[in-house]
């Protein structure tokens, strides 16, 4: 178990260096309260801009990864690994006025100076921050074992309601029953990188079950490099052409 935890921690550290890549152009989703801008950053990191609010998800990569992006009003952190929780990036950004939403395991490991900003959400719980309803969804590996890299209950996926659009950020998870049983998801971010989350086939199967209107494969670098997201798109659209699979560049080498 200790070796797996050390291996997982080292994996997270590979994503910590600051990337000076050109940012991908943001996508736009229309909501009842104006446009939602979706900005891919890198790996598991993204920025949502909506109704005058800027939401950072798992910020990593240092300040240069966020050049030209407004400072965060809300920060969501999914897990304790370095490709999700990166205190160095938090320190490099202007986060003094931001609300941080995180599971207890993340709150316990954040530096003391962030403790007063943290709102802890456990799996299955909900809260409203800055007028945004947020629900914490379990994220974990299958089968459930005591030495899993992502045990059930430690990390959070999140669902946000932004102007009537339900945005699902899966975090480090496999195609769990909680994911497969989701309803009315407008936009989903789904990982696919073995051995940390799931393979392309399992990700496609899960997406076909919960049928988001739009899905972004993200978090798709594994031990063997980048996952085949074109195959993911084909597997999904061969069975359901109405799901809009959006392939975006989440890594500098793409």
Per residue in 167-206, pLDDT tens?
Answer: 999 999 999 999 999 999 999 999 999 999 999 999 999 9
Residue 146: per-residue pLDDT: 81
Kind and range of the H or E run holding 88: helix 87-92
| HSE (side-chain half, CA atoms, 13 Å) at 193 | 22
How many folded domains does the chain comprise? 1
Residue 254: per-residue pLDDT: 67
Give domain status of residue 141, yes or no. yes
- Integer Cα distance of 200 and 197 in angstroms: 10
Give domain status of residue 154, yes or no. yes
Per the CB < 8 A criterion, the answer to whether 24 and 63 are in contact is no
Q: How sure is the predictor about 224, in pLDDT bands with cuts at 50, 70 and 90? A: confident
Give domain status of residue 104, yes or no. yes
Model confidence at 3: pLDDT above 60: no
Q: What percent of the chain has pLDDT over 70?
A: 91
Residue 211 phi, psi (nearest 5): 55, 60
Residue 136: per-residue pLDDT: 98
Residue 4: per-residue pLDDT: 41
- Integer Cα distance of 24 and 45 in angstroms: 12
What separation in angstroms does the CA of 74 have from each of 116, 170, 187, 188?
14, 17, 19, 19
| Lowest pLDDT segment from 14-18, 177-181, 242-246 | 14-18
Give the residue among 212, 190, 185 at the shortest CA–CA distance from 201: 190
β strands within the chain, DSSP E? 27-31, 34-42, 45-50, 53-57, 74-76, 99-102, 118-120, 126-129, 132-139, 155-162, 165-169, 187-191, 214-218, 221-222, 225-226, 244-245
Residue 241: per-residue pLDDT: 98
Give domain status of residue 72, yes or no. yes
pLDDT in tens, 202-223: 999 999 999 999 999 999 999 9
| Lowest pLDDT segment from 6-15, 57-66, 154-163 | 6-15
Model confidence at 35: pLDDT above 80: yes
Model confidence at 42: pLDDT above 60: yes
Give the residue among 85, 102, 83, 101 at the shortest CA–CA distance from 193: 83
Residue 220: per-residue pLDDT: 97
Give domain status of residue 44, yes or no. yes
| Lowest pLDDT segment from 15-19, 49-53, 164-168, 192-196 | 15-19
Q: How sure is the predictor about 150, in pLDDT bands with cuts at 50, 70 and 90? A: very high
**Coil, strand or helix at 84:** coil
**CATH number for the domain harbouring residue 191:** 3.60.15.10
The long-range contacts involving 35-39, CB below 8 angstroms and separated by at least 24 positions, are 36/162, 36/163, 36/165, 36/167, 36/187, 38/187, 38/216, 39/69
Give domain status of residue 250, yes or no. no
Q: Residue 101: which domain range?
A: 2-245
pLDDT in tens, 80-111: 999 999 999 999 999 999 999 999 999 999 99
Give domain status of residue 254, yes or no. no
Residue 7: per-residue pLDDT: 43
Give domain status of residue 232, yes or no. yes
Unique residue bearing structure tokens 């051995």: 195
């Amino acid at each position: 178990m200790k070796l797996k935890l050390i291996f997982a921690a080292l994996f997270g550290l590979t994503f910590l260096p600051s990337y000076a890549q050109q940012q991908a152009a943001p996508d736009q989703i229309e909501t009842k309260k104006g446009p939602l801008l979706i900005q891919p950053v890198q790996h598991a990191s993204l920025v949502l801009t909506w109704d005058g609010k800027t939401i950072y998800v798992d910020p990593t990569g240092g300040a240069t990864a966020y050049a030209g992006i407004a400072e965060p009003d809300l920060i969501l952190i999914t897990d304790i690994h370095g490709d999700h929780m990166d205190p160095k990036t938090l320190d490099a950004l202007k986060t003094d006025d931001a609300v941080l939403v995180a599971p207890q395991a993340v709150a316990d490991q954040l530096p003391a100076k962030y403790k007063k900003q943290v709102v802890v959400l456990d799996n299955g719980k909900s809260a409203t921050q800055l007028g945004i309803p947020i629900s914490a969804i379990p994220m974990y590996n299958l089968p459930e074992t005591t030495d899993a890299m992502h045990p059930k209950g430690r990390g959070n996926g999140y669902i946000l309601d932004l102007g009537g659009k339900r945005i699902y950020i899966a975090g480090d998870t496999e195609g769990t029953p909680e994911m497969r049983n989701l309803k009315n998801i407008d936009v989903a971010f789904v990982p696919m990188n073995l051995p940390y989350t799931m393979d392309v086939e399992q990700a496609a199967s899960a997406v076909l079950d919960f049928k988001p209107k739009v899905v972004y494969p993200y978090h798709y670098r594994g031990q063997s490099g980048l996952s085949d997201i074109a195959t993911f798109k084909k597997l999904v659209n061969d069975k359901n052409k109405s799901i809009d699979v959006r392939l975006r560049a989440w890594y500098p080498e793409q």
